[in-house]
């Protein structure tokens, strides 16, 4: 494709591409996101392609390997347009049947249809599935129609129209005013008003400015940024171009984790394609606006999600945060004014410009506008990416969309916002997903990871897990975060081992306050949140560990023992073979015994036993 | 294909200190680890003090300063995987292979890594092995996976001998 | 030409040189802000956090380190509020529990009002203040050592753990190291570390006039800017 020299040429290209596709009667969309690739969707895509070629259907049927659809639990997922048929758990062997039966003869394949777990009925289309029904998929729905490696798909779907709009005589002030009016707040953590950030950066003195996209999604349990960047990289590019125009930047970076190879590859391809069409480079679409971008790969450090650490990392340095007495919008990358937003924030920009701020502001709650993608994971029936209007109560997300707990277990808590967020108990599930309300409850929307926990999770152990994580991920520069978090972990470790004292809970709270108030960066300032929220909402669990030396959930190794219930054990020998410490003995067909002296309490035997014969006491 | 030699990796990046992490990423990808000699050359070519190169290489988890095993089992320890008992997998892997995370088995066949999130949380617990994601893992499945990889090695040997 | 700004530190209006830090200004004017990682004429990294102050902006109070905060016209700083003193005491307690075998750190703990240590003592030989690293890089341009690793693995080391040829053994790093001064009674035995408290009398003085410099002997040991 040749370089486009004006907005009109882009429109011509769009019309030309649409014209070329007018003979296509059916589109098969196979999810090629990382989740579904783990379920062998690559093989499936090739198999469908072969079948289409073999039956001579390539002209009429378009096969589209899309980004993540969100319902990863059911992967690989296939959607067939225009009838909107939704197939799940599709295997490569099903390719022939899908092409022959459904595409050629319009028949449904019963066994590939989704079964509604509440009603037990089979469901034909996506919109009938409870998981999708309550969602408002503004960003995620675009993933469905687009092959992330094809700029043509993006243009056909109306892409780069927002860019055309801002290049057409719109001033930076007008863009910023629109973003401010929309009430867009940062989707990466703190929820800082995006418009204010942009206007401060625009006002900052200096000719050289930068925009950065933070795709260093380090929050364990959140993967919406991966999904959007992987599934629709041009959307991010377009958002960043608009941002660059607004703040006056000529150069941008996408900072992406190296653990996301597909996201790195897709954004690299997207940048090359955009350059080829002249959507990046000098005088974009014949305007006076010039902008180019590059990818910077992160090296696996959670702290690099912090703005100053991220910028140090882009500069090729150690990702240590520095004091932010002067904000990064004034003194950022290479000490130049820099606007940093995360993937989801950038993804919201083009739609705001195209559809207007009032459209965006009509969704959401008082202080939190628009939609938010949540990663619903953990001990819950329907896991995956969920996009809802902000302000939806947690109840609705967990029970209506998520379908409730697995194996009939009681849901106990939800951890929102990753290691910087907090655990909210089931009694607080009437709270809405709202930046300010959740912050008041001690948690935060953060990047939007929602990990559901049930009665099998020990909340003290969860606090310990997060502290261990943060101790590992702290850069170690400042004393409260490095030593303070370590000391908190030491205290919690004693509690989980049954050596805790009640007065340590007060010390824990005092230390938590000191760490959160005096740490250098956001990581340290929020590090005590998991401890503070579990202490606030699950104090009885802490007290059980201390007073009764018991772990109510049966997790903390020092406080439990494993036993085989003789009546239930039929001597199948699975546990005996599974035990890596050789702690289980017994003859075939006879009830087995655990040798308490050798048992390391890993619990592998219990997870392997099919007869539920191993108990925690 | 990643470039083969250090020279090719350095191409177009010399005297650009901001390329340090990118260069180290490529060295890591090509050789599986970053040697002391490579760090010294990188320091000279980019014009970055050698201590800075060493600091960066020791700071980011993506970089290994020692060779890893032929099969690297990457266990995801993200929150979502953790609440679905990913800890059992760590116990299984370390127990079965007899090495701790970031160590290599004698003979260099396996090493274990644990990372904080692979970003496939809905399918947890996840184990990644040479680019393949194994989802919904259990200790039993992991044991079979390790045994299969071990057998492959034996079969390879027999093929060579035959 | 030197420019001046007016800042208010603990209610005193100070005519401060533009571009200097709040910490330097305060010390210059006899207001005591305890500190460890700050060394005059070296860059400030804000690692020890002891020099925290309250910075009032639009009625909101931000807790921030004074070494990294530059003076600005009309700035309002409080160096010794109850909140700040509590945090500072907690920080000093964490610090002295890590390294009881340094007189400098013992003195800082006393100066910050630590009366008991609620954590088990660890006898570490480095508190990662980074004085050595900065003097080596900034004054001698040698870059012979740096912070290696991250989180709890972070430590000061030579490249690959071996002293490089370009280290001229000038000894500046040792001179600035707060760990080189042992407590008055000599090094404590492992397992018998404690808060030494020998300088109690100095503390009594400091307690009566919190925040103001009493030209204490403590300051000398932790290389307070007034002694430099």
Nearest in space to B77 (alpha carbons), one of C155, A569, A39, A472: A472
Q: Which residues of B touch C147 (CB under 8 A)?
A: 55
What six digits make up the tokens of C112? 């910050």
CA A100 to each of CA A52, A97, B149: distance values in angstroms, whole numbers, following the listed order: 9, 5, 38
In angstroms, the CA B77 to CA B113 distance is 10
Residue A24 neighbours by CB distance under 10 Å? 13
What six digits make up the tokens of B33? 């680890």
What six digits make up the tokens of A296? 């910077």
Residue B17 has pLDDT above 80, yes or no: yes
Q: Are A14 and A277 in contact (CB under 8 A)?
A: no
Classify residue A170 by its DSSP letter.
Answer: -
Q: Are A373 and A386 in contact (CB under 8 A)?
A: yes
Contact across the interface for B140 and A580, Cβ inside 8 Å: no
In angstroms, the CA A320 to CA C150 distance is 9
What is the mean pLDDT of the segment spanning A423-448?
92
Q: Which residues of A touch C97 (CB under 8 A)?
A: 487
The confidence band for C204, taking pLDDT boundaries of 50, 70 and 90, is low
pLDDT of res. B124: 82
Phi/psi of residue A63, nearest 5 degrees: -100, 125
CB-neighbour burial class of residue A207 (10 A; exposed 0-12, middle 13-18, buried 19+) = exposed
Residue B8 neighbours by CB distance under 10 Å? 12
The confidence band for A429, taking pLDDT boundaries of 50, 70 and 90, is very high
Q: Which residues of A touch B79 (CB under 8 A)?
A: 220-221, 377-378, 415, 418-419, 449, 451, 465-466
Residue entry with tokens 């300063």: B65
CB-neighbour burial class of residue A587 (10 A; exposed 0-12, middle 13-18, buried 19+) = exposed
pLDDT of res. B116: 84
Three-state SS sequence of A483-548: HHHHHHHHHHHHHHCCCCCCHHHHHHHHHHHHHHHHCCCHHHHHCCHHHHHHHHHCHHHHHHHHHC
Q: Give partners of C (≥3 CB pairs < 8 A).
A: A, B
Q: Which residues pair with A293 in a beta bridge?
A: A252
Q: Which residues of A touch B96 (CB under 8 A)?
A: 580
Q: Which residues of A touch B115 (CB under 8 A)?
A: 259, 300
In angstroms, the CA A523 to CA A534 distance is 18
Cis peptide before A32 (omega within 30 of 0): no
Q: How many CB pairs under 8 A join B and C?
A: 30
- DSSP three-state, residue A377: strand
Q: Are A291 and A205 in contact (CB under 8 A)?
A: no
What is the mean pLDDT of the segment spanning C93-119?
90
The confidence band for A130, taking pLDDT boundaries of 50, 70 and 90, is confident
CA A362 to each of CA A355, A389, B124: distance values in angstroms, whole numbers, following the listed order: 11, 10, 36
What residues of chain A have any CB closer than 8 angstroms to a CB in chain C? 301, 303, 318, 322-323, 325, 471-480, 482-484, 486-487, 490, 507, 510-511, 514, 517-520
CA A400 to each of CA A113, A131, A397, A424, C114: distance values in angstroms, whole numbers, following the listed order: 20, 7, 6, 18, 53
What is the mean pLDDT of the segment spanning A495-523?
94
The residue of chain B with its CA nearest to that of A476 is B59
C184-192 LR contacts (CB < 8 Å, sep 24+): C184/C103, C187/C101, C188/C100, C188/C101, C188/C123, C190/C123
Cα within 13 Å of Cα(A60), Cβ side: 10
Chain A interface mutation, best of C43, C49, C70, highest count of A Cβ atoms under 10 Å? C49
Cis peptide before B125 (omega within 30 of 0): yes
Cα within 13 Å of Cα(A558), Cβ side: 14
**φ/ψ bin of A589: left (φ > 0), alpha (ψ from -120 to 50), beta (otherwise):** left
What is the mean pLDDT of the segment spanning A573-587?
90
Contact across the interface for C149 and B52, Cβ inside 8 Å: no
In angstroms, the CA C127 to CA A272 distance is 48
> Which tens digits make up the pLDDT trace of A509-519?
999 999 999 99
CA A466 to each of CA A418, A517, A526: distance values in angstroms, whole numbers, following the listed order: 9, 19, 11
Classify residue A81 by its DSSP letter.
Answer: E
Closest Cβ opposite residue B122 in set A72, A217, A316? A72
Q: Does B50 touch chain C (CB under 8 A)?
A: yes
> Which tens digits make up the pLDDT trace of A76-87?
999 998 888 999
Strands C4-9 and A584-585: unpaired
CB within 8 Å of A491: residues ≥ 6 apart: A500, A504, A507, A508, A511
In angstroms, the CA A88 to CA A114 distance is 6
pLDDT of res. C208: 67
**φ/ψ bin of A357: left (φ > 0), alpha (ψ from -120 to 50), beta (otherwise):** alpha
Closest Cβ opposite residue C146 in set B36, B39, B51? B51
Q: Which residues pair with A371 in a beta bridge?
A: A389
pLDDT of res. A5: 93
Question: Which of A259-263, A269-273, A560-564, C207-211 shows the lowest per-residue confidence on average (mean pLDDT)?
Answer: C207-211
Q: Give partners of A (≥3 CB pairs < 8 A).
A: B, C
Nearest in space to B117 (alpha carbons), one of B108, B106, B126: B126
pLDDT of res. B35: 94
Looking at CA atoms only, how far is residue C129 from chain B in angstroms?
17
**Exposure string over C49-75, b if 16+ CB within 10 A, otherwise e:** bbbbbbbeeeeeeebbbbbbbbbeeeb
Q: At what angle do helices A233-247 and A343-355 cross, to 10 degrees?
A: 70
- DSSP three-state, residue A447: coil
Residue A15 has pLDDT above 90, yes or no: yes
Q: Which residues of A touch C21 (CB under 8 A)?
A: none
**Exposure string over B107-132, b if 16+ CB within 10 A, otherwise e:** eebbbbbbbbbbbbbbbbbbbbbeee
Q: Are A335 and A317 in contact (CB under 8 A)?
A: no
Closest Cβ opposite residue B49 in set C143, C153, C160? C143
> Which tens digits make up the pLDDT trace of A378-421?
999 888 999 999 999 999 999 999 988 888 889 999 999 888 88
The confidence band for A365, taking pLDDT boundaries of 50, 70 and 90, is very high
What six digits make up the tokens of A268? 């690299």
The confidence band for C205, taking pLDDT boundaries of 50, 70 and 90, is low
Q: Give partners of B (≥3 CB pairs < 8 A).
A: A, C
Q: Does B59 touch chain C (CB under 8 A)?
A: yes
pLDDT of res. A64: 92
In angstroms, the CA A98 to CA A170 distance is 48
Contact across the interface for A471 and C151, Cβ inside 8 Å: yes
CB-neighbour burial class of residue A417 (10 A; exposed 0-12, middle 13-18, buried 19+) = buried
In angstroms, the CA A615 to CA A596 distance is 13
Nearest in space to A188 (alpha carbons), one of A150, A222, A141, A151: A222
Question: Which of A147-161, A510-524, A566-580, C187-201 shows the lowest per-residue confidence on average (mean pLDDT)?
Answer: C187-201
Average pLDDT, chain C: 89
> Which tens digits make up the pLDDT trace of B94-137?
999 999 988 899 988 999 988 888 888 888 899 998 888 899 99
CA B76 to each of CA A383, B88, C62, C149: distance values in angstroms, whole numbers, following the listed order: 17, 12, 38, 22
Cis peptide before C69 (omega within 30 of 0): no
CB within 8 Å of B111: residues ≥ 6 apart: B68, B69, B71, B72, B73, B99, B102, B103, B104, B105
What is the enclosing helix (H) or strand (E) of A122?
A: strand A122-123
Q: Which residues of B touch C173 (CB under 8 A)?
A: none
Residue A346 has pLDDT above 90, yes or no: yes
- DSSP three-state, residue A223: coil
Q: Does B129 touch chain C (CB under 8 A)?
A: no
In angstroms, the CA A82 to CA A67 distance is 19
Alpha helices, H only, A285-342: 307-314
pLDDT of res. C206: 60
What is the mean pLDDT of the segment spanning A61-80?
89
pLDDT of res. B162: 45
What is the mean pLDDT of the segment spanning C174-198?
84
pLDDT of res. B3: 56
CA A511 to each of CA A508, A521, B127, C89, C152: distance values in angstroms, whole numbers, following the listed order: 5, 17, 36, 11, 18
A491-497 LR contacts (CB < 8 Å, sep 24+): A492/A460, A492/A463, A492/A464, A492/A467, A492/A531, A493/A464, A495/A460, A495/A542, A495/A545, A495/A546, A496/A458, A496/A460, A496/A461, A496/A464, A496/A545, A496/A551, A496/A556, A496/A558, A496/A559, A497/A556, A497/A558, A497/A559
Q: Which residues of C touch A520 (CB under 8 A)?
A: 46-47, 49, 65
What is the mean pLDDT of the segment spanning A41-51?
92
Q: How many CB pairs under 8 A join A and C?
A: 87
pLDDT of res. A75: 80
Chain A interface mutation, best of B117, B128, B131, B135, highest count of A Cβ atoms under 10 Å? B117
What is the mean pLDDT of the segment spanning C23-51?
92
- DSSP three-state, residue A425: strand
Nearest in space to A175 (alpha carbons), one of A101, A78, A243: A243
Residue entry with tokens 């171009």: A241
Contact across the interface for C146 and B36, Cβ inside 8 Å: no
Q: pTM of the prediction?
A: 0.92
Closest Cβ opposite residue B17 in set A73, A316, A449? A316
């Amino acid at each position: 494709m040749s370089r486009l020299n004006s907005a009109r040429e882009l429109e011509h290209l769009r019309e030309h591409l649409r014209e070329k596709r007018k003979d296509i009667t059916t589109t098969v969309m196979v999810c090629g996101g990382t989740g579904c690739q783990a379920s062998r969707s690559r093989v499936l895509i090739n198999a469908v392609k072969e079948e289409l070629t073999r039956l001579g259907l390539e002209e009429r049927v378009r096969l589209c390997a899309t980004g993540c659809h969100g319902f990863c639990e059911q992967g690989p997922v296939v959607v067939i347009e225009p009838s909107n048929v939704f197939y799940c758990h599709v295997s490569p062997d099903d390719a022939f049947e899908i092409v022959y039966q459904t595409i050629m003869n319009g028949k449904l394949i019963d066994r590939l249809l989704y079964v509604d777990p509440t009603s037990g009925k089979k469901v034909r289309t996506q919109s009938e599935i409870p998981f999708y029904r309550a969602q408002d998929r503004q960003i995620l729905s675009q993933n469905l129609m687009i092959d992330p490696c094809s700029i043509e798909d993006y243009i056909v779907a109306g892409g780069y129209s927002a860019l055309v709009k801002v290049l057409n005589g719109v001033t930076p002030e007008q863009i910023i005013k629109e973003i401010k009016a929309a009430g867009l707040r940062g989707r990466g953590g703190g929820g800082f008003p995006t418009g204010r950030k942009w206007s401060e950066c625009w006002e900052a003195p200096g000719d050289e400015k930068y925009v950065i996209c933070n795709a260093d999604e380090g929050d364990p349990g959140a993967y919406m940024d991966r999904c959007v960047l992987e599934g629709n990289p041009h959307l991010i590019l377009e958002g960043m171009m608009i941002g660059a125009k607004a703040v006056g930047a000529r150069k941008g970076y996408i900072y992406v984790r190296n653990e996301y190879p597909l996201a790195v590859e897709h954004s690299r391809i997207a940048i090359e394609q955009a350059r080829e069409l002249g959507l990046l480079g000098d005088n974009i679409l014949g305007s006076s606006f010039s902008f180019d971008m590059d990818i910077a790969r992160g090296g696996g450090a959670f702290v690099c999600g912090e703005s100053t650490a991220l910028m140090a990392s882009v500069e090729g340095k150690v990702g240590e945060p520095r004091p932010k007495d002067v904000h990064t919008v004034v003194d950022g990358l290479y000490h130049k004014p820099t606007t940093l937003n995360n993937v989801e924030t950038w993804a919201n920009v083009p739609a705001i410009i195209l559809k207007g701020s009032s459209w965006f502001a009509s969704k959401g709650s008082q202080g939190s506008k628009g939609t938010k993608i949540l990663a619903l994971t953990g001990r819950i029936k329907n896991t995956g990416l969920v996009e809802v209007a902000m302000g939806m109560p947690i109840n609705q997300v967990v029970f209506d969309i998520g379908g409730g707990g697995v194996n009939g277990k009681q849901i106990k808590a939800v951890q929102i916002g990753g290691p910087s967020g907090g655990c909210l108990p089931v009694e607080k599930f009437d709270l809405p997903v709202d930046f300010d309300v959740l912050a008041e409850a001690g948690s935060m929307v953060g990047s939007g990871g929602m990990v559901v926990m049930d009665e099998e999770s020990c909340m003290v152990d969860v606090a310990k897990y997060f502290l261990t994580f943060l101790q590992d991920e702290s850069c170690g520069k400042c004393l409260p975060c490095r030593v303070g978090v370590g000391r908190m972990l030491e205290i919690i470790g004693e509690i989980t081992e049954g050596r805790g004292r009640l007065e340590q809970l007060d010390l824990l709270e005092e230390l938590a306050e000191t760490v959160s108030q005096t740490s250098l960066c956001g990581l340290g300032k929020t590090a005590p949140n998991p401890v503070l929220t579990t202490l606030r909402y699950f104090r009885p669990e802490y007290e059980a560990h201390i007073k009764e030396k018991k772990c109510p959930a049966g997790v903390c190794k020092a406080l439990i023992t494993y036993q085989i219930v003789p009546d239930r054990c039929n001597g199948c020998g699975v546990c005996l073979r599974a035990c890596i410490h050789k702690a289980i003995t017994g003859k075939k067909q006879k009830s087995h015994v655990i040798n308490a002296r050798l048992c390391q309490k890993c619990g592998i035997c219990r997870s392997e036993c099919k007869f539920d014969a191993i108990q925690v006491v | 294909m990643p470039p083969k030699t250090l020279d090719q990796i350095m191409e177009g990046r010399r005297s650009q200190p901001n390329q340090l992490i990118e260069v180290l990423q490529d060295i890591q990808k090509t050789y599986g680890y970053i040697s002391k000699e490579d760090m010294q050359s990188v320091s000279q070519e980019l014009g970055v003090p050698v201590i800075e190169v060493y600091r960066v290489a020791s700071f980011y988890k993506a970089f290994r300063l020692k060779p890893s095993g032929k099969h690297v089992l990457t266990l995801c320890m993200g929150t979502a995987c953790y609440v679905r008992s990913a800890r059992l997998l760590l116990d299984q892997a370390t127990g079965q292979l007899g090495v701790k995370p970031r160590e290599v088995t004698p003979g260099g066949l396996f090493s274990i890594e644990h990372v904080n999130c692979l970003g496939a949380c809905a399918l947890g617990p996840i184990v990644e092995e040479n680019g393949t994601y194994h989802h919904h893992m259990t200790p039993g499945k992991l044991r079979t996976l390790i045994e299969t990889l071990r057998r492959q090695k034996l079969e390879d040997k027999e093929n060579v001998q035959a | 030409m030197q420019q001046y700004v007016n800042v208010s530190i603990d209610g005193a209006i100070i005519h401060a040189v533009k571009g200097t830090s709040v910490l330097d200004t305060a010390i210059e004017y006899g207001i005591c802000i305890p500190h460890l990682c700050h060394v005059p004429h070296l860059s400030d990294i804000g690692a020890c956090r002891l020099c925290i102050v309250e910075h009032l902006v639009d009625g909101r109070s931000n807790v921030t380190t004074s070494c990294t905060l530059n003076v600005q016209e009309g700035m309002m700083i409080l160096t010794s509020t109850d909140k700040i003193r509590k945090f500072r005491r907690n920080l000093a307690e964490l610090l002295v529990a890590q390294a009881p075998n340094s007189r400098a750190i013992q003195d800082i703990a006393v100066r910050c009002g630590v009366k008991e240590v609620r954590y088990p003592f660890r006898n570490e030989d480095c508190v990662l203040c980074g004085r050595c690293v900065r003097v080596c890089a900034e004054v001698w341009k040698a870059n012979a050592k740096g912070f290696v690793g991250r989180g709890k693995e972070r430590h000061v080391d030579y490249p690959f753990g071996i002293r490089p040829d370009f280290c001229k053994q000038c000894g500046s790093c040792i001179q600035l190291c707060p760990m080189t001064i042992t407590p008055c009674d000599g090094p404590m035995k492992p397992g018998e570390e404690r808060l030494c408290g020998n300088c109690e009398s100095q503390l009594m003085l400091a307690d009566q006039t919190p925040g103001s410099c009493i030209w204490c002997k403590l300051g000398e040991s932790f290389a307070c800017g007034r002694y430099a």
